[in-house]
């Protein structure tokens, strides 16, 4: 994997939203605060963390659905910093949304939903070519020609998500942001959709940023996993390395909550329960954002944010005490 070239690089990404406090006062909500990582061609990077930690905002900021407050997004060696570069980028990078119910237009047929990106980017010469391409895309995701003239409300959640995936594939992308694409689906359907993502990756050479909060799903599909907490990235390593050797106290707590199928291991598993609630990103703690819930926090943790640095080959952690507790 390491020989593959870097496809996407994110440097110092920040996404702040101004929150109105009344009386002409506002305060920035730091949804994403100084996040950096890279994704290699053909790789799946899993992005995990509690609800509200900024995972989805990272995905949307990369695609400029939200204009980043600061930082760089570099795709295939070119920075996305102008309308022209963004237009080209959007032909190569797409998104599969979390909710298959609200992300599809109820007034459009499946055929028109899937063909919309083809129309926007003028990728089909005539109606016949457009029809053929729509049927080809539907075939990729296990839908047939009979489905083309129907409307989204006539389908189950799993089928709707397949329609969303077919739409994301329409421009023949290289990179797809998958924003919790299976969290709204039944468990039995989740496995089918995850396997489909893997098959499509092999067949079309896709690269994924896979955002999720289900750690078992992420482990199954990801090559590397990044862990976020309150807008900051706290750990990044190979998927197996994170599961067998997590270094950040937050990662350890998350992983201790994963159910184990083996009853003997499950009984031996020590659950690490965190104290307190996740702080509001509007009033984030000084220094390390995790310190208010961390069992190992010291005075130094309140003074400064620990640097996100490589402590072992390919294993990045942001923790002042990583060498003591590692």
Counting every residue, how long is the chain? 326
* Tokens matching residue 189: 């359907």
202 CA to centre of own chain: 19
CB 73 within 8 A of CB 80: yes
Bridging pattern class, strands 315-317 and 224-229: unpaired
**DSSP bridge partners of 211:** 47, 179
Burial bucket for residue 140 (CB in 10 Å: 0-12, 13-18, 19+): middle
Q: What is the mean pLDDT of residues 264-289?
A: 83
| The pLDDT of residue 199 is above 60 | yes
pLDDT of residue 326: 64
- Between the alpha carbon of residue 86 and those of residues 35, 67, 178, the distances in Å are 20, 11, 19
pLDDT band at 3 (very low <50, low <70, confident <90, very high): low
What is the percent of the chain with per-residue pLDDT over 90, rounded to a whole number? 72
CB 261 within 8 A of CB 270: no
Q: Considering the entire predicted model, what is its pTM?
A: 0.92
- For the stretch 121-153, pLDDT in tens is 988 989 999 999 999 999 999 999 999 999 999
**DSSP bridge partners of 321:** none
Q: What is the mean pLDDT of residues 7-14?
A: 96
pLDDT of residue 278: 82
The overall average pLDDT reported for the chain is 91
């Amino acid at each position: 994997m390491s020989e593959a070239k870097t496809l996407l690089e994110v440097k110092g990404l920040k996404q702040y939203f101004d929150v109105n406090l009344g009386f002409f006062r506002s305060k920035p909500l730091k949804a994403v605060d100084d996040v950096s990582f890279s994704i290699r061609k053909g790789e799946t990077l899993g992005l995990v963390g509690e609800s509200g930690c900024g995972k989805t905002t990272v995905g949307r900021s990369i695609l400029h659905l939200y204009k980043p407050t600061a930082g760089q997004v570099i795709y295939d060696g070119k920075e996305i910093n102008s309308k022209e570069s963004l237009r080209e980028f959007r032909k190569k990078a797409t998104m599969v949304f979390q909710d298959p119910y609200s992300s599809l237009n109820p007034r459009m047929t499946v055929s028109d939903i899937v063909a919309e990106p083809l129309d926007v980017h003028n990728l089909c010469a005539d109606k016949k070519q457009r029809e053929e391409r729509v049927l080809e895309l539907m075939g990729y995701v296990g839908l047939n020609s009979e489905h083309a003239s129907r409307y989204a409300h006539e389908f189950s959640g799993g089928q709707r998500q397949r329609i969303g995936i077919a739409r994301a594939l329409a421009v023949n992308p290289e990179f797809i942001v998958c924003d919790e694409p299976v969290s709204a689906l039944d468990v039995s359907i989740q496995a089918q959709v995850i396997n489909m993502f893997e098959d499509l990756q092999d067949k079309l050479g896709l690269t994924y940023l896979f955002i999720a909060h289900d750690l078992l799903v992420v482990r199954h599909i990801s090559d590397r996993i990044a862990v976020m907490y309150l807008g900051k990235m706290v750990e990044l390593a190979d998927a197996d390395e994170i599961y067998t050797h997590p270094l950040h106290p937050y990662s350890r707590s998350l992983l201790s909550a994963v159910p184990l199928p083996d009853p003997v291991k499950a009984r031996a598993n020590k659950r690490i329960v965190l104290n307190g609630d996740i702080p509001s990103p509007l009033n984030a703690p000084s220094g390390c954002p995790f310190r208010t819930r961390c069992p190992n926090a010291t005075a130094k943790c309140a003074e400064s944010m620990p640097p996100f640095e490589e402590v072992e080959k390919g294993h990045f952690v942001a923790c002042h005490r990583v060498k003591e507790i590692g």
